Amino acid sequence: VECSNAAEALEAAGAGADIILLDNLPPQELHSAAAQVKAVHPRVMVEASGGVVLGTLPQFLGPHIDVVSMGCLTHSAPALDFALRV
């Protein structure tokens, strides 16, 4: 379940969500929300996403974050122009 704050994440986990996606949270808020979720629901997987690029990746890693998604790997990848002639 995609959540934008700790309250939504706790509600989703309490309703039975297996994975919580904390989206577009600043790193400090992200880690606080993840810790709150893990304290009450330790088996729920917590994913961080939104605004993560290679330069900021270390800020999103932490003991309560299980997965980090980086959209820049797909939407910011350079294009390659090629042709296949048979």
Higher pLDDT, 54 or 38: 38
pLDDT band at 10 (very low <50, low <70, confident <90, very high): very high
pLDDT of 32 above 80: yes
How many residues can be counted in the chain? 86
Token pair, residue 19, equals 């994975």
Q: Return the axis-axis angle of helices 6-14 and 27-40, rounded to nearest 10°.
A: 30
What the chain holds in terms of domains, given with CATH numbers, is 2-73 (3.20.20.70)
Number of CB atoms found within 10 A of residue 80's CB: 5
